[in-house]
């Protein structure tokens, strides 16, 4: 993934802004993984990606990877989960939506922190969580 010169303290960014960037970063990682892993039509790629990126999928993934997260990462997740959002998910219940927002905030936090190694570790855990459930 290309690195930009982001000189921002991730602790000073709102949790919803972290979730905003985290959503995009996570989706790029997932799309890159499934493109590398399988060769199929775009419609099937999209269906495969939803196993990782939907609010329900992210909530399930979070519960599986939670034991592997640090105290700092859990704290960031909770900030995102508890943030008051004026939007809601189209195809998810409020609990899954909030958990997925926390998950995305965590991904955004690690990205802004420029901890590429940890970001790769967490995404690998996510992929393993989904692959193990199939």
> Which whole-number Å values give the CA distances from 120 to 10, 87, 96, 100, 106, in the listed order?
18, 29, 23, 18, 13
From the number of C-beta atoms within 10 Å of its C-beta (0-12, 13-18, 19+), residue 99 rates as buried
> Which whole-number Å values give the CA distances from 106 to 46, 47, 123, in the listed order?
23, 24, 11
* Residue 1 confidence class, pLDDT cut points 50, 70, 90: very low
Please indicate, yes or no, whether the overall pTM of this predicted structure exceeds 0.75: yes
Listed in sequence order, the DSSP H helices in 38-70 are: 42-53, 55-65
Domains present along the chain, CATH in parentheses: 12-133 (1.10.1520.10)
| Active-site hit among 5, 23, 37, 115 | 23
For residues 77 and 105, is the Cβ–Cβ distance under 8 A? Answer: yes
DSSP string, 65-89: HGGGS-HHHHHHHHHHHHS--S---
Q: What's the confidence (pLDDT) of residue 6? A: 62
| Angle between helix 42-53 and 55-65 (nearest 10) | 50
First to last CA, the chain: 27
Backbone angles phi, psi at 113, to 5 degrees: -70, -10
Per-residue pLDDT of 8-55, as tens digits, reads 888 889 999 999 999 999 999 999 888 875 677 888 888 888 889 999
Q: Is 23 a catalytic residue?
A: yes
User: Is it the case that residue 3 has pLDDT exceeding 80?
Assistant: no
Per-residue pLDDT of 61-120, as tens digits, reads 999 999 999 999 999 999 999 998 777 667 778 899 999 999 999 999 999 999 999 999
């Amino acid at each position: 993934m290309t690195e930009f010169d982001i000189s921002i303290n991730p602790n000073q960014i709102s949790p919803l802004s972290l979730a905003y960037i985290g959503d995009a970063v996570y989706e790029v990682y997932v799309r890159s993984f499934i493109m590398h892993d399988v060769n199929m039509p775009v419609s099937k790629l999209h269906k495969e990606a939803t196993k990782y990126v939907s609010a329900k999928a992210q909530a399930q993934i979070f519960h599986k990877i939670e034991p592997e997260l640090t105290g700092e990462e859990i704290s960031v997740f909770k900030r995102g989960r508890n943030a008051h959002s004026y939007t809601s998910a189209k195809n998810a219940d409020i609990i899954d939506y909030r958990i997925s927002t926390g998950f995305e905030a965590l991904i955004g936090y690690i990205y802004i922190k420029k901890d590429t190694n940890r970001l790769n570790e967490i995404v690998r855990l996510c992929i393993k969580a989904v692959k193990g459930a199939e």
